[in-house]
Chains A and B, each alone.
Chain A
Amino acid sequence: MSASPKPGSKPAVPLSERLWRALAWLEQRMNVTELFSFLTHFGVIYTPIDTQRPLREVLREIGSKPVVSYARWPHILGLLTAILFALQAISGTLLAFYYHPTATMAYESTRTIVRDVPLGWLVHQVHAWGSSLLMAVVFVRIVRLFWDGLYRAPREVLWFSGVMLGYLVIQIDFTGRLLPWDIHSYWAAIRGLEVISTVPVVGPVLAFVVGGKTLSQDSLPRFYVLHSLVLPGLYLAMVWVTFASMRRVGLSRTDEAPPATTTFRKHLADLAIIMLLLFAGLVTLATLFPFHFHGAADPYATPKGVQPPWYMLALYAVDQVPVPGWIPGLLALIVCLAIPFLPAILKRTGGRFDERRVRIAGVAVFAVWVVLSVIGVIVERS
């Protein structure tokens, strides 16, 4: 007892100072700033930094540096696609701790997660709701980019990566839907594969990937790898392309409202607040409006009201028309290929095109798509 140091014999070191010292210790041994600069590629910060300087100096410098605020409309859409993806990655990783991607265990393990693991139901529902929200945000962002004409030079790459994010998020959703291996996910996947198999080139390629035109138990691990590894990897690559392009061409700005500027410190706080509110919103949705849990997949019993996922309903409706399946499939393929290469198509007009006409054409395509989707629902019900 007598050997114990007397309180106040040494000046108290605040916790923040201790952390900075630890950082300094680490920085003598590795380049932390370089690691941090890597993170900036995924939207943490929007400013170039000098990787040769210590992180503390860099942070102090950019902390007070004015940056363009993401945290307001419409730039927040891009931010949300990144944050929601991060939340999906976190909840998906938690799910993967318990999930078994085999036909015999998939349903059982999903039920274990949802029913027996503490708060497993919450993680599962947050993941499901997050997927819907992510898709909504990615789509609204594409619509917004289109409406404001942000496919024009020099933003062709941004437009391309934006549309690609949309395609990827659809594929991640489609592959993820099957994983619970319950009766609805199983039959929805079968309906979806039927729709996709009508598309030339894509259909055979997909059949090759999933191991045949029909859904088998071999499909499940492949869908799992696509859902948790391949497609998210491509998504991250597209996020990286988005930010890399944005560093060159800058944030979109409209002439009427000059972008609000803020400091990096405030930007970081905004980021944390948005992330927290999004997470709280997802938890609320998951608790108040949980998705139903269905029975196990049964290849011999088609449940009532099973339909392909909503983004496939339009093509599903067209496939009911008595023409050879490849005709609507080819049309859909042409439209889907035309959208990301819209700038290249418009360039053929010599750069003199009426933006209003493009908008009207876009609205028309969108309207046709919505009408066909509604027909798809009606076709399935009848």
Chain B
Amino acid sequence: MSGRPTPFARRAAVLGALALGLALAAAAVRSAPAPADAPGEEMLTAASGRCGVCHPRDRVAFEKSPHATEGLHCTSCHGGNDQTDKASTAHSGASWRGRLTKPEIPKLCGSCHSNPKLMQPYDLPVDQYALYQTSVHGQRLAKGDTRVAVCSDCHGPHEILAPNDPASSVYVTNIPRTCGRCHGDSALVKAEGIRDTYHAYLTSVHAKQLFDAGNLSAPTCVSCHGVHGATPPEGGDVNKVCGRCHTAERRYFLAGPHASGMSRGGLAECSSCHGDHAIQASVTGNLAADCVECHDKNSAEAKLGDRLLADYRGASEEIEQASKWVDRADAVPIETDDFRARVQEARTYLREAMTAAHSVRPDIMGSFTVRARSTGAEVTEEIQKELGNIRTNKLALIVFWFYVLVTVGILRRFRNARPQGR
């Protein structure tokens, strides 16, 4: 017997190798991992595992949240085992936390949201937990008071949406209502002895801008109080907070005597006159009326308020007068583009005078009221002069009729002259 393999054995070896190769290739295909950056449908349902069998409502809410698509599971927060629908097995194990208590929640959320490595791919800030601990909510929680807002009270426990999602409870137009769930709850505010700031805010010019005018830049609760570090601005800081938007008003306010006087007297700067939450659009008539809230009725300060108001009104009336003259000139018509521009300019001065009134200094405010008033008066005067030229046209009629009658006389002589015979 030679050592050479028989043809049958060779064929068998080739077939065997082929079969092995096929089997290996099939195994390789089977074990290939799904692409990680495109979660399939099975992965979405996998987020809640089998918890949804008993907790369908929580499952639906959770799966709307971006958390569900970013690799979080029910067990990430609640612990336990999500691969069984047997309650005793599911709600057990070393990781089982069950329903979280209020003090646990900020810590749990912070365990991811304070981790720069985890948040960096989403470009999310990591200071929320630190800020929360500086807030009145956080400080009271630290003292053991659990009747405060934690993460889930504002963001929702399961249906946590991004703040730029209009369905989110922390979307800009939803923020007042979210805060108002506690700060506008009449029973709760009475029990806690705090003010119903939500309903006060709803009457404010800020809320009208936000809800009626659709101005998404209008301030909500968090614009002044901070987001996670929600704290009422302290006296001395109020002008800084308001001045973030009302820059010119703040500049004039700081230039006037009220800034130092209010800080000495411990008065909140802007809100002493404007109120805090129910801030109304400025009413000219209230300008001087509010002075007597603090100053004596016969004091020099109250009289100064009356004088500033009188200056403002005088300028305002002068501008209205000029505006009426412009309309009259338009009906003639006289070229009014320049006059209109100047009336607009005067209105701008008047608007600036209202802002400058925050300095309560007649020299500062007066520089605007005087300019507004004199611009209005100049326009009125110039239009009256031009309309006076039209009156001159009427006088020119006398000369015109003189020449007409002279011509008629000549024509009558021609008419009655004897025809010249040849």
Q: Which residues of A contact B (CB under 8 A)?
A: 60, 63-64, 111, 114-116, 121, 263, 265-266, 269-270, 272-273, 276-277, 280, 283-284, 287-288, 290, 292-295
4 closest cross-chain pairs (CB), A and B? A269-B415, A280-B404, A293-B333, A292-B331
Instruction: Give the residue name and chain of the A residue nearest to B415 (CB).
Output: A269
Asked if A277 and B408 sit within 8 Å, CB to CB, the answer is: yes
Contact of A288 among B331, B332, B397 (CB under 8 A): B397
| Contact (Cβ within 8 A) A293 B408 | no
- Other-chain residue from B333, B335, B397, B415 in contact with A287 (beta carbon distance below 8 A): B397
CB distance from B415 to the nearest CB of A (A): 3
| A221 CA / B401 CA spacing, docked (Å) | 38
Inter-chain contact B335/A295, CB cutoff 8 Å: no
Shortest C-beta distance, A15 to chain B (Å), equals 15
Q: Which residues of B contact A266 (CB under 8 A)?
A: 415-416
Contact of A64 among B397, B416, B419 (CB under 8 A): B419
Residue among A63, A64, A269, A293 making CB contact with B332, cutoff 8 Å: A293
B residues lining the A interface (CB < 8 Å): 330-335, 393-394, 397, 400-401, 404, 407-408, 411-412, 414-416, 419, 422
Docked-complex contact B397 and A276, CB < 8 angstroms: no
Across the interface, which residues of A come within 8 angstroms of B394, CB to CB? 287-288
| Contacting residue for A294 out of B331, B393, B411, CB 8 A | B331
Known: A280-B404, A287-B393. A115 touches B415 (CB 8 A): no
Residues of A within 8 Å of B334, CB to CB, are 115
Residue among A111, A272, A273, A280 making CB contact with B401, cutoff 8 Å: A280
Is the pair A265, B408 in contact by a Cβ cutoff of 8 Å? no
Residues on B with C-beta less than 8 A from A269 are 411-412, 414-415
A273 near B397 with CB under 8 A, answer no
Distance between B388 CB and nearest chain A CB, rounded to angstroms: 15
Q: Are B335 and A273 in contact (CB under 8 A)?
A: no
Cα A60 to Cα B422 in complex, Å, equals 10
Q: In the complex, are the beta carbons of A63 and B419 less than 8 A apart?
A: yes
If A266-B415, A280-B401, A283-B400 touch, does A273 touch B408 (CB 8 Å cutoff)?
Answer: yes
* Nearest CB on A from B204, distance (A): 33
Shortest Cβ distance from B335 into A: residue: A115
A116 and B335 contacting across the interface, CB-CB below 8 Å = yes
- Return the chain A residue nearest B419 by Cβ: A64
The answer to whether B415 and A265 touch across the interface, beta carbons within 8 angstroms, is: yes
State in angstroms the CA–CA spacing of A280 and B415 once bound together. 20
Sample (21) of A-B pairs whose CB atoms are under 8 Å apart: A60-B422, A111-B333, A114-B333, A115-B333, A115-B334, A116-B335, A265-B419, A266-B415, A269-B411, A273-B411, A273-B415, A276-B404, A277-B404, A280-B401, A284-B401, A287-B393, A287-B397, A288-B394, A290-B332, A293-B331, A295-B330
Assembly CA distance A270 to B393 (angstroms):
29
The listed residue (B331, B333, B397, B415) touching A270 by CB distance below 8 A is B415
Pairwise interchain contact B331-A284, C-beta atoms closer than 8 A: no
Extra 15 A-B pairs, beta carbons < 8 Å, given A115-B333, A280-B404: A60-B422, A111-B333, A115-B332, A115-B334, A121-B332, A269-B411, A273-B408, A273-B412, A276-B404, A276-B407, A277-B408, A284-B397, A284-B401, A293-B330, A295-B330
C-alpha gap A280/B408 in the complex (Å): 11
**A60 vs B332: C-alpha distance in the bound complex, in angstroms?**
50
How far is A269 from B408 in the complex, measured between Cα atoms in Å?
A: 9
Contacts of A280 in B (CB 8 A): 400-401, 404
CA A64 – CA B420 in complex, angstroms?
Answer: 10
A283 lies within 8 A of B397 (CB): yes
Residues of A within 8 A of B331 (CB): 292-294
Distance (whole angstroms) from the CB of B359 to the closest CB of chain A? 40
Of listed B331, B394, B422, residue having the most chain A CB within 10 A = B331
Which residue of chain B has the shortest Cβ distance to A122 in the bound complex? B393
Residues of chain B contacted by A290 (CB below 8 angstroms): 332
CB distance from B399 to the nearest CB of A (A): 12
Bound-state CA distance A294–B331 (Å) is 6
User: In the complex the two chains form, what is the Cα distance from A272 to B422 in whole Å?
Assistant: 25
Give the nearest-CB partner of B332 in chain A: A293
Q: How far is the CA of A295 from the CA of B416 in the complex (A)?
A: 51
A272 to B411 Cα, complex, angstroms: 8
CA distance in complex: A116, B334 (Å): 8
CB nearest neighbor in B for A293: B333
Residues of A within 8 A of B400 (CB): 280, 283
Measured CB to CB, the nearest residue on chain B to A119 is B393
Residue of A269, A288, A292 contacting most chain B CB atoms (<10 Å): A269
Which chain A residue lies CB-closest to B413? A269
CB distance from A149 to the nearest CB of B (A): 33
Nearest CB of B to A265, in Å: 6
User: With the chains together, A280 CA to B400 CA distance in Å?
Assistant: 8
